[in-house]
Amino acid sequence: MITKQDAVNAHYRQEFYFVNNHGVVKRCRVNGACKTWKTRPDEFKLPMKFGLYECFYITDENAGRFFTSEELAAEFAMAK
């Protein structure tokens, strides 16, 4: 699981691993800087890119499906 600290420390083109609803592990990369707010200290928004054209954000709501290593993502997918 990605934490807010992992997202803030992420650098451009760093890779994270995502587990989709079917249990398939996919690799995606950071596409910009993490956005945080002073008034909402638990929230963050990290822009990501998958493939050539798909862009999305890792937020505090969906961070439980992203991992820093492929092994951790595979363990999560197997446990699911």
Contact 31, 49 (CB under 8 A): yes
- Kindly state the percentage of the chain with pLDDT values over 70: 100
pLDDT at position 61: 96
CATH code: domain of residue 72: 2.30.30
Q: In the predicted model, what is the mean pLDDT of the chain?
A: 95
Which sign does the torsion angle of CA 30, 24, 76, 71 carry?
negative
For residue 80, pLDDT beyond 90: no
Rounded to whole angstroms, the Cα distance separating 79 from 58 reads 22
Q: How many domains does the chain have?
A: 1
| Per-residue pLDDT tens digits for 47-56 | 999 999 999 9
Q: Which domain holds residue 51?
A: 4-79
Phi then psi for residue 72, to 5 deg, are -65, -40
